[in-house]
């Protein structure tokens, strides 16, 4: 019995010791995931920053709290800009990469005005016909007004309740159905300028709506006469067309830099699509709760978002970045954090991606920035004929503090150059025209060197067109800061010819498609789905039974075995001792003495044969004597 107890006690102690680290490992905390993520990202970029400017910008965005990495990252990012001037990124300049760089440098506390201006110069007029436009007029009392536009004139009346009515018909204006307080503008009349003259002092406001949400795109106009004109713009991408993803990121970056982005919002709102995670950006910029509600509704039951081509980690980080300020989004953010912690790779990244990991770290566990730029790294402002002033003069422009230094409280000022009108190829020799399309032959200006080599244009006005221009000669892909890839990542195709036999030249390679371990699909086309794919070996649901569960089962089985052993031991002891048998006496007849009820052993001790015979004779004699008495 004692040996069985010792066995059970030893078994329990060993099982507890073995299970303790495993049980603790199941409860990875936010801090552990955060530290692993930051350590992984640190190892990827310290002293060897990536080639792609977007990778650099997002990594710097996340690691800006580390002064050494902030200093390294800023230099690496500036080196990726066009002519290393720190105005646009990458060397070919596109809007999204420049917006990401703006975010990173703004987080370091840098002066980013030149970058902001470059982005805004990429704007293009956009006619927002997918939203409803209105004019609201307020007067102190009753009033009559004339509204002139496109050689036409409409007369309206405003009553004491601020309701408007039209005197006669109008080809462009109509009284709205929403209480009669606004004048609706027809979608074919959005280009007009509306001049309003009233009998009373009037306040005119331009409004637009989408899905019952109302927006004010610009400041109100006040006076006896006011003019209202719809101004909406988008930002162009690598070509001359509106690019939604670029405009979305740029609007977010400009808003963070406290620049007015109202002129971009009708385009973003009218063309909003979940594939760009637009609800996250629009909620951050506008604060309109309908976007937060829609964003929350798109969350998967496992806690992640996956709406864009960037994938679940990227999208989940953007959603958390937005819903962190939504008072009803606490549960959504909590579920997202749980998913992010559980799905972290063993080495500490998310999807082995710099961009995904950087965005996750910033969105979920951003650290405060202490970096202060040092003037020793910058050129002294006066060395290039510029002046340090507390404020630039009207004929001067402020230069970036990234490149030119002044004493604290002063900025570097340079006399403004006469800006070109950017109408002819000759204007392409001016930096301000770079990337803009000119009327002459519909060519795009490319300042410094020609990059479009198949458009029959002399894009840099050097007298040489396309293949005639040495700028279009094939250069080794790596020499241009790009790399040879099997496939470019989205939006990272090189604009140049290249020397990558059998491959393409990219600013960023597209990573191999990874298996998603819980969608019952063969995502990477290797004929293995979910847990059958080796890529899913570390996925929580594919790890098989947890060790602590196995140990618990062993404990239960051990306990059952111990109980069975103990029970059998007890039964053996019972069989070794039988209960004594008593002789029950019959009722006595008169004159009879009771027979002894002394227990008779079921196993009497036996002596010799002679002693046994003597005892039997004696017992018979006593019984016979008892019978004779009767």
> 240-244, 275-279, 364-368, 540-544 — which one is most confidently predicted on average?
364-368
Question: Mapping DSSP to helix (H, G, I), strand (E, B) and coil, where does residue 396 land?
Answer: strand
The per-residue pLDDT for range 302-316, each reduced to its tens digit, is: 999 998 888 899 999
| Mean pLDDT across 515-542 | 75
In the structure encoding, which two tokens stand for residue 554, read together?
């062993």
Mean pLDDT score across all residues of the chain: 80
Residues 6+ apart with CB under 8 A from 382: 388
Say which residue, 331 or 401, is predicted with more confidence: 331
**Residue 147 confidence class, pLDDT cut points 50, 70, 90:** very high
Query: How many CB atoms neighbour CB 381 within 10 A?
Result: 24
Say which residue, 45 or 528, is predicted with more confidence: 45
The per-residue pLDDT for 530 is 81
The per-residue pLDDT for 67 is 93
In the structure encoding, which two tokens stand for residue 71, read together?
């200093």
Percent of the chain with pLDDT over 90: 42
CA 465 to CA 501: how far, in whole Å? 26
Percent of the chain with pLDDT over 70: 76
Contact predicate 539/529, CB 8 Å: no
Lowest mean pLDDT of 111-120, 121-130, 345-354, 418-427, name the range: 418-427
Contact predicate 143/200, CB 8 Å: yes
Contact predicate 86/102, CB 8 Å: no
The per-residue pLDDT for 628 is 54
The per-residue pLDDT for 388 is 85
CA 107 to CA 109: how far, in whole Å? 5
The per-residue pLDDT for 411 is 80
The per-residue pLDDT for range 596-623, each reduced to its tens digit, is: 444 444 444 445 556 666 776 776 666 6
Reply yes or no on whether the pLDDT at 431 is more than 70: no
Say which residue, 359 or 241, is predicted with more confidence: 359
The per-residue pLDDT for 342 is 92
Question: Mapping DSSP to helix (H, G, I), strand (E, B) and coil, where does residue 167 land?
Answer: strand
The per-residue pLDDT for 332 is 93
Reply yes or no on whether the pLDDT at 123 is more than 80: yes
- What is the pTM for the complete model shown? 0.61
**Residue 583 confidence class, pLDDT cut points 50, 70, 90:** very low
């Amino acid at each position: 019995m004692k040996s069985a107890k010792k066995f059970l006690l030893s078994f329990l102690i060993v099982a507890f010791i073995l299970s303790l680290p495993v049980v603790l490992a199941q409860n990875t905390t936010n801090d552990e995931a955060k530290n692993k993520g930051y350590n992984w990202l640190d190892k990827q970029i310290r002293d060897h920053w990536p080639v792609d400017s977007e990778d650099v910008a997002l990594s710097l965005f996340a690691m800006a709290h580390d002064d050494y990495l902030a200093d390294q990252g800023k230099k690496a990012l500036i080196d990726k800009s066009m002519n290393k001037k720190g105005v646009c990124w990458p060397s070919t300049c596109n809007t999204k990469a420049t917006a990401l760089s703006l975010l990173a440098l703004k987080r370091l506390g840098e002066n980013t005005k030149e970058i902001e201006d470059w982005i805004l110069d990429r704007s293009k007029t956009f006619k927002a016909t997918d939203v409803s436009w209105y004019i609201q007029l307020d007067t102190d009392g009753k009033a009559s007004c004339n509204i002139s536009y496109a050689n036409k004139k409409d007369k309206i009346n405003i009553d004491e309740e601020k309701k408007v009515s039209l005197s006669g018909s109008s080809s462009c204006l109509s009284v709205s159905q929403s209480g009669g307080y606004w004048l609706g503008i027809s979608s074919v009349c959005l280009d007009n300028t509306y001049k309003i003259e009233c009998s009373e002092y009037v306040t005119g406001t331009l409004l637009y709506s989408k899905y019952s949400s109302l927006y004010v795109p610009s400041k109100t106009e006040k006076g006896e006469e006011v003019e209202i004109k719809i101004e909406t713009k988008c930002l162009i991408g690598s070509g001359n067309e509106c690019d939604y993803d670029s405009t979305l990121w740029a609007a977010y970056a400009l808003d963070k830099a406290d620049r007015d982005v109202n002129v971009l919002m009708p385009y973003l709102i009218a063309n909003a699509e979940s594939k760009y995670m637009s609800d996250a950006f629009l909620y951050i910029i506008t604060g309109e709760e309908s976007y937060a509600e829609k964003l929350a509704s798109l969350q998967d039951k496992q806690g992640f978002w996956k709406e864009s081509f960037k994938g679940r980690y990227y999208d989940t980080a953007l959603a958390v970045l937005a819903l962190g300020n939504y008072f009803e989004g606490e549960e959504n953010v909590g579920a997202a954090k749980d998913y992010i912690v559980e799905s972290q790779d063993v080495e500490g990244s998310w999807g082995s991606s710099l961009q995904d990991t950087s965005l996750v770290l910033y969105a979920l566990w951003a650290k405060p920035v202490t970096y202060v730029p040092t003037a020793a790294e910058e050129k002294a402002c006066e060395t290039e004929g510029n002046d340090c002033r507390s404020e630039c003069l009207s004929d001067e422009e402020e230069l970036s503090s990234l490149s030119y230094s002044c004493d604290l409280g002063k900025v570097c000022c340079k006399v403004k150059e006469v800006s070109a009108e950017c109408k002819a190829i000759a204007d392409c020799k001016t930096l301000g025209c770079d990337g803009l399309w000119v009327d002459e032959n519909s060519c795009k200006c490319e300042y410094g060197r020609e990059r479009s080599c198949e458009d029959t244009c002399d894009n840099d006005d050097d007298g040489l067109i396309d293949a005639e221009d040495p700028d279009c000669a094939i250069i080794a892909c790596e020499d241009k800061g790009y790399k040879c890839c099997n496939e470019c990542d989205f939006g990272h195709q090189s604009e140049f010819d290249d020397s990558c036999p059998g491959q393409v030249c990219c600013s960023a390679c597209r990573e191999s498609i990874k298996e998603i371990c819980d969608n019952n699909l063969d995502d990477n086309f290797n004929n293995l789905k979910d847990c059958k794919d080796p890529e899913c070996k570390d996925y929580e649901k594919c790890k098989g039974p947890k060790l602590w569960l196995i140990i618990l089962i062993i404990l239960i089985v051990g306990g059952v075995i111990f109980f069975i052993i103990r029970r059998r031991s007890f039964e053996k002891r019972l069989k070794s001792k039988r209960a004594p048998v008593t002789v029950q006496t019959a009722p006595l007849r008169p004159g009879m003495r009771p027979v002894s009820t002394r227990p008779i052993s079921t196993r009497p001790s036996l002596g010799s044969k002679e002693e046994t015979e003597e005892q039997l004779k004696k017992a018979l004699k006593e019984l016979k004597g008892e019978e004779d008495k009767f």
